[in-house]
């Protein structure tokens, strides 16, 4: 069965701290895609990154970086030098070829204090 677990319900940091959001997934498929979305208070889900199961290279985009490790079924997201504008709920999601369904974790609420 497919499942995405985001064990951290809420994280609070002070501005300029680094923070890592954890994501652990389960799937039986060998071909799958992992996603991260950001949901600010306005409600819209903003796409951040997509990673396929055959590409384990870490990715960096500005202050954001992602660590994909198939051995531990994890796809963690790190924000470096956090800012108040990073405050949002972050969702990790999984989509595999068996069902094509996008399965979401329950999200992590990140609060960045000034």
User: Least distance from C-beta 78 to another protein, angstroms?
Assistant: 21
Residue choice 16, 50, 63, 70 for contact with another protein (CB under 8 A) = 50
Q: Is 97 in the site for another protein (CB under 8 A)?
A: yes
Q: Identify which of 95, 98, 84, 107 has the alpha carbon closest to the alpha carbon of residue 38.
A: 107
Q: Is 21 in the site for another protein (CB under 8 A)?
A: no
The string over 30-49, giving b where at least 16 C-beta atoms fall within 10 Å of a residue's C-beta and e elsewhere, is: eebbbbbbbeeeeeeeeebb
The DSSP letter of residue 81 is: S
Residue choice 44, 57, 85, 114 for contact with another protein (CB under 8 A) = 44
Residue choice 23, 86, 96, 110 for contact with another protein (CB under 8 A) = 96
Q: Is 101 in the site for another protein (CB under 8 A)?
A: yes
Classified as helix, coil or strand, 55 is coil
């Amino acid at each position: 069965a497919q499942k995405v677990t985001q064990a951290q319900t809420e994280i609070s940091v002070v501005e300029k701290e680094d923070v890592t959001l954890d994501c652990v997934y389960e799937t039986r498929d060998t071909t799958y895609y992992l996603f991260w979305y950001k949901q600010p208070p306005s409600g819209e889900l903003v796409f951040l990154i997509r990673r396929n199961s055959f590409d384990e290279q870490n990715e960096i985009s500005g202050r954001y970086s992602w660590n994909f490790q198939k051995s531990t079924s994890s796809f963690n997201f790190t924000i470096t030098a956090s800012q108040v504008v990073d405050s949002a709920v972050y969702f990790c999601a999984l989509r595999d070829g068996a069902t094509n369904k996008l399965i979401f974790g329950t999200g992590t609420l990140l609060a960045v204090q000034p």
